[in-house]
């Protein structure tokens, strides 16, 4: 857990120092870890620590885009009352009984200085490829454009994949490739390409590698494709 949070912060450092983009391939994940608790296999909040580190380095604002199938309750709580970090999450509707079922509803938008800096997009189970792209293009991108972050961090979970035992959102490797492309273009437009991806969930041993490979292909501009 200590190595995971250190690697995530180091990845953000590399991007801050000029690396075009970085992917922190870490375990355990982090987005269910709050300011004073752990849960959901998360002990330290890797993405939140990375965002806080960038703020300490002088970045005025940071956006965290969470595409894990489960809402990042810990990340939301950490930045709930802060306006310097945007938290936008696309996830399974918690009303359908998915963990964490007690948080992640659309009316949760932060409070105080953080009012409007939390964005929850709960999707119905099995929503699939087009729903994710629609949510990203119609809601998350406009939010990023309004917020104008100095850097973007993606909480990159692969449990929205079709065969994942804990997600089953019917996404494919091509979904994650497309989401990566969308966020890369936003980073290029808004914050000089400063983009860090931090690995979150994903529990299909046979399919997570295809999703991860698609993301790395897109990040690196590689034409070496792992056939799905």
Among candidate residues 89, 155, 152, the one with its CA nearest the CA of residue 118: 89
* 225 token code pair: 């494709």
* Bond from prior residue into 100 cis (ω within 30 degrees of 0): yes
Instruction: Judge whether 32 counts as a catalytic residue.
Output: yes
3-state secondary structure of 176: helix
- Cis ω for the linkage preceding 210 (within 30 of 0): no
Which residue in 6, 10, 31, 32 is the catalytic one? 32
Residue with tokens 């709960």: 122
Tell me which DSSP letter residue 30 carries.
-
**Residue 194, SS3 per DSSP:** coil
- As annotated, the active-site residues are 32
């Amino acid at each position: 857990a200590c190595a995971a949070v250190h690697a995530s912060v180091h990845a953000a450092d590399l991007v801050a120092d000029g690396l075009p983009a970085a992917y922190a391939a870490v375990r355990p994940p982090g987005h269910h870890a709050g300011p004073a608790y752990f849960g959901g296999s998360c002990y330290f909040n890797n993405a939140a620590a990375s965002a806080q580190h960038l703020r300490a380095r002088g970045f005025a604002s940071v956006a965290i885009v969470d595409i894990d199938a489960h809402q990042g309750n810990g990340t939301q709580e950490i930045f709930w009352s802060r306006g310097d970090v945007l938290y936008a999450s696309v996830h399974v509707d918690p009303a359908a009984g998915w963990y964490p079922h007690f948080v992640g509803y659309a009316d949760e938008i932060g409070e105080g200085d953080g009012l409007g800096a939390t964005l929850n997009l709960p999707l119905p189970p099995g929503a699939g490829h087009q729903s994710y792209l629609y949510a990203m293009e119609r809601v998350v991108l406009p939010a990023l454009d309004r917020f104008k972050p100095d850097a973007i961090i993606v909480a990159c979970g692969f449990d929205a994949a079709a065969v994942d035992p804990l997600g089953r959102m019917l996404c494919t490797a091509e979904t994650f490739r497309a989401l990566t492309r969308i966020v890369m273009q936003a980073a290029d437009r808004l914050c000089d390409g400063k983009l860090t991806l931090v690995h979150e969930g994903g529990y299909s041993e046979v399919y997570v590698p295809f999703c991860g490979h698609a993301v790395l292909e897109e990040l690196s501009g590689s034409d070496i494709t792992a056939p799905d």
